[in-house]
Amino acid sequence: MSKASPPATRLPGRWFCSATASTPPHPPPPPAIALARERGIPIHTVTLGGARLEPDLAVSALPLQPTLVVGETGGIHVQIFQANVGNQRITVEIDDGETVREEELWFQGEPVLGFEVPVQHDEPGTYAYSFRVQPLPREVELRNNHQTVYINVTPHRFRVLLMEGEPGWDSKFLAHALRNDPRMELLQVSQLSPTRREILSTRIPDGEAKFPATREELAAFDAVILGRSPHRVTGEAWFDLLDGFVRDQGGGLLWARGPPQAIGLPAPVAARLASLSPLSAVQGFVPEPRLTLAPEGRGHPAFEWGGVGVPDQVMPKLPPLMRAVRGTARAGARILLNLDTEGAPPALLSMPSGNGRVMLFAGEGFWQWRLLSPELDQYSPVYDLIWSALLRQLVTGEFAPGQEIDLRLSEVNLEAGSPLLIAVSRRLPAQTDEMSLQLVQPDGQRVTLSAADVSGRGTRFELELKPELPGEYRVELDTPDTEPTRLERSFNVFDLDTERIITSARPEWMRLLARETGGVVLDPREPDSLPDLLNRGLLSLEIPGKPELIWDRPSLMLLILALLGFEWILRKTKGWL
């Protein structure tokens, strides 16, 4: 139904659709037309905008790695969309906060052109990159010509603990993906038998490559990955450390092979860890499902694959999982992947928990995406790209030395309307149950926000926003009683709405939609015709038709009897009776 769906006005039995001068370039989907025909619902359409199609450019920029280690090389993927540009050269200005340079692109009919900007910094901090495409003559919509993205640079690598009591191919290939990521320090602990434990370390000094048996030793890690039957590695008592590791110390936790109830943990341990799982109400297993990208997964760095391909086109070609857990997502969980089975149950979820974050992958056999057949070998990098990006998001780090308070954002680049979690963490409890912050919006307006105490101890304050206005935001926190006394964090909201990217009117599609459903194409210069049309439709619904039998008409009955009598006389005279 193009961008006319959902309808601007909906009345019983009638739909009215409008298409502005930004209808996306695809025809009305046949199922919508078939459904309207089946229900006898005509769809009336009107196309708004001038008859001349004006040129338009739109810029979209997403970081390939939103978090980098000092000295590490990353990149930003930039795309320029065009409508009615034809054969022209365009100029993109790139501002990294220190210098401004230009990149020239030449459109020769392509709908979109792209390039990558390399990123590398030798000092920790948050760096802003601004991209602006110079407007064309007669270009009207200029709001989509500019976008800013933020890159976080940390001073150290991320240290990850992977533990599994029943080693399998999933943990083996996951560990291999992390070893290939220069940002990661990995300690892999596997219980091969009741008497044999294997410890493999990558980029961790020999003196530190040991299993963290205490709270203090565990605090040296940024994230923990649990495979199947992890209690066989260390015993049940150790898992009491996980709650404090995530909620208080700001660590990350990844359930790599399903929720606590499904990975072989003893029932008492699974019950204690249930609140750290973003998946609840487990309802059994789904055999051999495929993975599909959930709405909240679009735009996530884990599914920005650059030249490898577009997830919606690549994922159907990749092998299905061996099996997956069917469950229900907890409130506050963000679903990134779904299973392609009835009800589309979640397959990959992310959830904040206290100062930390929890992720869960509900399937087994994901390793097959790394070991592909020769005809699919071009997609082999996808597996490593997904896990590296997910682990970078999972790792949240700890307080810096001497730091008594921290201000964190769940995302620094997010799509308009997506949830953003703002969290304030304190080492020492605050004597209040609310924390006041200032939000500086892209238009310069200041808004006072209030974060509520979610820890019950005055150490963790949270609030959730869903910013709609694209542009650059800044969150400010003043706390004179702590060190530091002022904290600022910035984030960028981008709009991937097709209507902002493709601004060309397509009246022929709206005429097709109306014609195929029995509707009327309205003239925007005659708005008074719409109320009359809708009123007639309502009247036909309010005064339903009354069936009238043909035999209730005397004149028709006499005519039928006369014809029958004439036929009888004719047959009699001819001797046919």
- Residues 433-462: tens digit of each pLDDT: 899 999 999 999 999 999 998 877 787 888
Does the domain at 405-488 match CATH 3.60.150.10? Answer given as no
Instruction: Give the C-alpha separation, 270 to 266, whole Å.
Output: 6
pLDDT tens-digit series, residues 391-430: 888 875 445 434 578 888 877 777 888 899 898 888 677 8
Averaged confidence pLDDT in the chain: 83
Share above pLDDT 70 across residues of the chain, in percent, rounded to a whole number: 87
Question: What phi and psi values does residue 109 have, to the nearest 5 degrees?
Answer: 100, -10
Higher pLDDT residue, 68 or 504? 68
Output the CA angle 476-404-157, nearest 5 degrees.
90
> Which of these ranges, 43-57, 214-228, 412-426, has the smallest mean pLDDT?
43-57
pLDDT single digits (tens) 79-88 = 999 888 888 9
DSSP code per residue over 451-518: EEE-SSSSSEEEEEE---S-EEEEEEEE-TTSSSSEEEEEEEEE---HHHH-----HHHHHHHHHHHT
What mean pLDDT comes out for the span 313-324? 96
At residue 28 the predicted structure's pLDDT band, cuts being 50, 70 and 90, is very low
Higher pLDDT pick, 11 / 252: 252
Domain residues of the chain, as ranges? 2-52+504-542, 71-154, 158-394, 405-488, 549-577
Radius of gyration (C-alpha) of the chain in whole angstroms: 31
pLDDT digits (tens, 9 = 90+) for 147-162: 888 887 877 788 999 9
pLDDT for 541: 59
What is the Cα–Cα distance from 237 to 195, expressed in whole angstroms? 19
CATH number attached to the domain at 158-394: 3.40.50.880
Question: Which pTM does this prediction carry?
Answer: 0.58
User: Residue 1 forms beta bridges with which residues?
Assistant: none
3-state secondary structure (DSSP) of residue 446: strand
- Nearest-10 crossing angle of helices 381-394, 169-179: 80
pLDDT of amino acid 449: 94
Q: What's the rounded mean pLDDT across residues 357-383?
A: 94
pLDDT digits (tens, 9 = 90+) for 170-195: 999 999 999 998 888 999 999 999 88
Cα dihedral 107, 109, 110, 112, rounded to 10, equals 60
42 or 575, greater pLDDT: 42
In whole angstroms, what is the distance from residue 370 CA to residue 377 CA? 9
Q: What is the pLDDT of residue 550?
A: 63
Q: Specify the pLDDT at position 26.
A: 44
Q: Residue 400: its pLDDT value, please?
A: 46
Bridge partners of 17?
45
Check: CB of residue 221 under 8 Å from CB of residue 159: yes
Residue 117: what residue type?
Answer: V
Looking at residue 21, its pLDDT comes to 39
Task: Name the burial class of residue 355, with classes exposed (0-12), middle (13-18) and buried (19+) by CB atoms within 10 angstroms of its CB.
Answer: buried
> Cβ(44)–Cβ(14) under 8 Å?
yes
Q: What is the pLDDT of residue 577?
A: 63
Q: Is the pLDDT of residue 322 over 80?
A: yes
What kind of fold does domain 71-154 have according to CATH?
Answer: Immunoglobulin-like (2.60.40)
Q: Please check whether residue 72 is in contact with residue 119, taking contact to mean a CB–CB distance below 8 angstroms.
A: no
Q: 158-394 and 405-488: same fold? A: no
CA distances from 328 to 258, 318, 357, 485 (A): 12, 25, 18, 42
Please say whether the beta carbons of 230 and 194 come within 8 A. Answer: no
